[in-house]
Structure 1
């Protein structure tokens, strides 16, 4: 099928890039796509389904693993296995599947949400309350040794985190603000937070993000049914409309990092789109950046 690519040609919207269904799944809240180069696979989660998914595009092989609680994100570890942002804290899965807590911090009514590995190998992990109460979540930095540094103490729905190609700029989303912000951190502490872009109310809420090799920021718009690409200056230069209302996050994958994978959700929809919950892919749409594995 074709997505609509509104590249603002003078004559109006053009036929956009090809969009394919990588995994036809009915995830309640698909999230956190991450390319694992060691396993040549995409890792993603169904938060509310408490499931960890993997997909190998070369063979089509996939796996689904039930975990014991809601899981916001899972990222590869440098020594094998995964680090996971769970309902009750940060957990480690060894390559053989053995589990241990790295940072156990259960709070009633709160869960882990999106997370990302920084260029230095630390994990930046966000939380949110189930009722999405303002100030009920936070963003923390978790070191390989389990040390925790608070970055932002009060957020509503902590979501996308990403870095510019040189690692100098950090992008961050607290979804209800409708903003993508730029964070400046010195000596492990947040010293500045400023607006990068604001999404207009009728376009949905910014959710997950990824940064491409040109330094442009791709943002999935929850309730907006689209992906947007912003230049490093904050200019909107591409809008790709999708066949789902609630895309949640995006990440480049494949052996050359040229395919953009998109997770989607069906939760809260009285009449979900036919592909709501599926893992979608836009082949050869750009050039991604190699991801960093968690150093712990």
Structure 2
């Protein structure tokens, strides 16, 4: 299979993250964390928008009723269709910010955090239910990153980047249990960052400082690796009308030398089959 890697949006994001396909609008949503920007891109017509947030924004996801839910420095908030902002859960912690987030099949937002200085154990992972109830799922997290669910909803995959692992949990209603290792990225291959799960139940993960996307089977076997023209890919998600195109965000922060496409949104057309993602129900 010939794999193409294309530039979807030429950008200079400091820390691009969290691509998400919004089927209601036919667009990709992604963020530039350190520049406090939420970007959208419509592949069909090339239309783009940029929303400036008041704080660093770790993730932005569509809401079922329109607008966006965002994981900010001080907590989780939402933008209505008219642009009005409302806090859903505000818990400022000095030196900490929101990072990657994902919406579960039941419409709840699972939002991670991390300390700016990457102090071990300084972050967490919370669940924000559609009714606004907040539960801390994990503490003692350093850099909360990729989160995703198997197509049947019985497994949750998760990355705390410094561990070098993709972990898997069993899902029991609103709870997760039985945490264990799915796969470990070997030394020198980069660090696992954002992830997505395809229709076969395989996990695609971006490798920060590894310049690649990898696909692991549900048993943890590495069965595909794709080199990218950026050394710091951050996350990936399937999009397009048929959910067969893989969109990849990237970063240029901290690079030792210039990379022409660093900070851009990339796309790998027709590389696999994704699964439709739920919108936040709140």
Q: Spell out, residue by residue over 1:6-49, the C-alpha distance to the aligned partner (whole angstroms, 9 max, x if none).
A: xxxxxxxxx84111100000000000000000010000000001
1:183 Cα deviation (Å)? 1.7
Report the TM-score when normalising by structure 2: 0.98
CA distance in 2, matches of 1:261, 1:87: 25
**Aligned equivalent of 1:168:** 154
Equivalent residue in structure 1 for 2:197, among 186, 194, 211: 211
> Pairwise mapping of residues 1-296 of structure 1 onto structure 2 (< 5 A)?
16-186=2-172, 188-296=174-282
1:271 Cα deviation (Å)? 1.3
8 Å contact kept, 1:152–1:190: no
| Secondary structure class of the residue paired with 1:291 | coil
CA distance in 2, matches of 1:41, 1:49: 21
8 Å contact kept, 2:61–2:279: yes
CA distance in 2, matches of 1:272, 1:210: 28
| Secondary structure class of the residue paired with 2:195 | strand
CA distance in 2, matches of 1:92, 1:228: 32
1:254 Cα deviation (Å)? 0.5
8 Å contact kept, 1:116–1:124: yes
Report the TM-score when normalising by structure 1: 0.93
Q: Spell out, residue by residue over 1:111-143, the C-alpha distance to the aligned partner (whole angstroms, 9 max, x if none).
A: 000000001110000000000111000011111
CA distance in 1, matches of 2:202, 2:175: 25
1:88 Cα deviation (Å)? 0.6
| Secondary structure class of the residue paired with 1:48 | coil
CA distance in 2, matches of 1:193, 1:57: 38
CA distance in 1, matches of 2:106, 2:140: 24
**How many equivalent residue pairs?**
282
CA distance in 1, matches of 2:134, 2:124: 12
C-alpha RMSD of matched pairs (Å): 1.0
Q: Spell out, residue by residue over 1:65-107, the C-alpha distance to the aligned partner (whole angstroms, 9 max, x if none).
A: 1111100000011111110001110001101111000001111
Gaps of 5+ in 2: none
8 Å contact kept, 1:149–1:188: no
8 Å contact kept, 1:27–1:278: yes
1:272 Cα deviation (Å)? 3.0
1:185 Cα deviation (Å)? 4.2
Q: Spell out, residue by residue over 1:209-263, the C-alpha distance to the aligned partner (whole angstroms, 9 max, x if none).
A: 0000111110000000000001111111100000100000000001111100000
CA distance in 2, matches of 1:189, 1:233: 22
8 Å contact kept, 2:155–2:171: no
1:201 Cα deviation (Å)? 1.1
| Secondary structure class of the residue paired with 2:3 | strand
CA distance in 2, matches of 1:232, 1:187: 20
8 Å contact kept, 1:28–1:46: yes
Moved more, 266-275 or 38-47: 266-275
8 Å contact kept, 1:16–1:240: no
| Secondary structure class of the residue paired with 2:162 | helix
CA distance in 2, matches of 1:184, 1:93: 32
CA distance in 2, matches of 1:87, 1:51: 13
| Secondary structure class of the residue paired with 2:188 | helix
